[in-house]
Amino acid sequence: MEAAEDVNGYVTASVRHFMTKTTSEADLPLGLSIEEATGEIARAIGLPEVDLENRAQRYELFVHRRNGGADHLNPSARVGDAIAPGDLVEPLPEVTPGHPGA
Amino acid sequence: MFDLDLLLRDATTGHEVRRESLPAHVAERLIADTHASGVLAGVLPNDGAPIRVDGFSLETGDGPARLRVEVGMGETSFQKLYSHAVLRDDAEVIIARLLQTKAIEKGTYTFTPASRTATSTVGGRIRLRPAPRRPGRLPGGSLVERGVREPRACRHPAIVLPRRQAQALVSQARASEVEVGASLMVETFLVEEPVPCRLGLRVLEVVELAHGTAGTETHLRITPEALAAVGARETEARRAGGLAHSHPFGRKLEPGADPRFLSSEDKAVATGWYWQPHHIQLIVDPRFTDPEDAIAAYAWVDAALVRVCLYLTEG
């Protein structure tokens, strides 16, 4: 489906779960920060929201451009400035295996 | 439909201690396992078509609660019944979090799934149009042709780890005093030999995690950039199949204790992200040089994490 920028303040992009590779279409508000959008995308596609210390799970948002490029997005940037119609975005977590009791 | 809580009770008194929402990926794990079981049993077609969730229900009555999951493809469907024990690792992660935040005291708890009582008040601002679940097709493949001399009658996925890749994991772990990690690139296949579990996976490559990934003696921090680099190497036939990481603290444990276990943190990683039926976790004890002694493997068996055996192959 052709992506489009909505006159009401959304950009339509694809969002992908980095493990299942399930890719859905989403309208992202242009005014959200990338940090806000990342948290909402992660929640919407069923990624863990908190870590083992009950802090918000850290994700970084990566974008794959239609021209084949790929970038890590600055959390303080705005969706409208950083994501173009048809881009594919993918939240990737900071993963912390370990054993505090050892 | 999939919203569930986990009810924690004091094991001694039976009193309810806490009710916590089960994260969304728990239901997805059961759905993925039911689909894989249906395909491996030959009931569901192995054609990569989208799947439906025809049923997901909590059954209560006499005895512990159970979860019934039904997955459909085309004209056929397959259902599976899970005991509450399938949530053991999820419960351990939730209890570890509650203990860390001092929301509960140390103790012994029992757990059971329950219908969700509270609705989320968090309103999302993005508009998501979910795509159908499409787990993909499993190509056929022979264990013998992949170097396995005698396939064993195991109930878990057959994991083929070429000795060269196993040795790379051991060498990486032994070269460091701190925890190190690697992503496992695997091929998955429908085992042609008549073994009890026909899901096979072979490790094709061990990708050492870099891009700022750093460890201590008891922790490993894998950066999003490291996972992005792994994702860039994936293809249809070559998938991220799990993680390997070292536990270099064996000498600090009680004599005879095995450090090749999954900690609560490790289980949080496995249940949170690496929950598909073909995902595995490898733990490496760097005190040993032989992969047979150094590596322990964990896989999903009926949607629960289980320590399993490996096929170490030559060539």
Nearest CB neighbour to B101, from listed A26, A28, A54: A54
Say which DSSP state B130 is in: P
Nearest CB neighbour to A52, from listed B96, B216, B222: B96
Q: Does the residue A72 lie in any domain?
A: yes
- What is the CATH code for B140-313? 3.40.140.10
**Per-residue model confidence as pLDDT tens digits over A46-55:** 999 998 888 9
pLDDT over 90 percentage in chain B: 85
Mutate one of B29, B104, B126, B239 to test the A interface: name it (highest A CB count within 10 A): B126
pTM: 0.94
What pLDDT, on the 0 to 100 scale, is given for residue B27? 96
Which pair of structure tokens corresponds to residue B53?
């969730």
What pLDDT, on the 0 to 100 scale, is given for residue A78? 96
Q: Is the pLDDT of residue B1 over 90?
A: no
Q: Is the pLDDT of residue B117 over 90?
A: no
**Per-residue model confidence as pLDDT tens digits over A4-41:** 555 469 999 999 999 999 999 999 999 999 999 999 99
Q: What are the start-end ranges of the E strands in chain B?
A: 4-10, 16-21, 52-59, 66-73, 76-83, 109-115, 127-129, 140-141, 158-162, 181-191, 199-208, 214-215, 220-221, 239-246, 280-284, 295-301, 304-308, 311-313
| Mean pLDDT of the A64-68 span | 84
Q: Domain locations in chain B?
A: 4-115, 140-313
The CATH number covering residue A73 comes to 3.10.20.90
Q: Is the pLDDT of residue B54 over 80?
A: yes
Q: Does the residue A46 lie in any domain?
A: yes
Confidence of residue B3 (pLDDT cuts 50, 70, 90): confident
**Per-residue model confidence as pLDDT tens digits over B167-186:** 999 999 999 999 999 999 99
Q: Contact A53/B97, CB-based, under 8 Å? A: yes
What pLDDT, on the 0 to 100 scale, is given for residue A7? 47
Q: What is the residue-averaged pLDDT of chain B?
A: 94
What pLDDT, on the 0 to 100 scale, is given for residue A2? 43
Q: Contact A98/B128, CB-based, under 8 Å? A: no
Name the nearest CA neighbour of B126 among A74, A37, A85. Answer: A37
Q: Contact B125/A40, CB-based, under 8 Å? A: yes
Nearest CB neighbour to A97, from listed B133, B266, B279: B266
Q: Contact A24/B25, CB-based, under 8 Å? A: no
What pLDDT, on the 0 to 100 scale, is given for residue A100? 64
Backbone angles phi, psi at B168, to 5 degrees: -65, -40
| Mean pLDDT of the B262-283 span | 96
Q: Is the pLDDT of residue A102 over 50?
A: no
What pLDDT, on the 0 to 100 scale, is given for residue B25? 95
**Per-residue model confidence as pLDDT tens digits over B202-230:** 999 999 999 989 999 889 999 999 999 98
Provide the shortest C-alpha distance from residue B52 to chain A (in Å): 14
In A, which residues are within 8 Å of B128 by CB distance?
15, 24-26, 41, 44-45
Confidence of residue B121 (pLDDT cuts 50, 70, 90): low
| Mean pLDDT of the B38-49 span | 95
CA of A95: which chain B residue's CA is closest?
Answer: B222
Nearest CB neighbour to B131, from listed A24, A41, A90: A24
Q: Does the residue A98 lie in any domain?
A: no
Residue A44 CA to residue A58 CA, distance in Å, equals: 15
Residue A59 CA to residue A75 CA, distance in Å, equals: 10
Q: Contact A98/B133, CB-based, under 8 Å? A: no
Q: Which domain holds residue A41?
A: 5-93
Nearest CB neighbour to B125, from listed A29, A47, A48: A29
Provide the shortest C-alpha distance from residue B179 to chain A (in Å): 8
What pLDDT, on the 0 to 100 scale, is given for residue A75? 96
Give the number of domains in chain A: 1
What pLDDT, on the 0 to 100 scale, is given for residue B120? 61
ipTM of the complex: 0.90
What pLDDT, on the 0 to 100 scale, is given for residue B233? 86
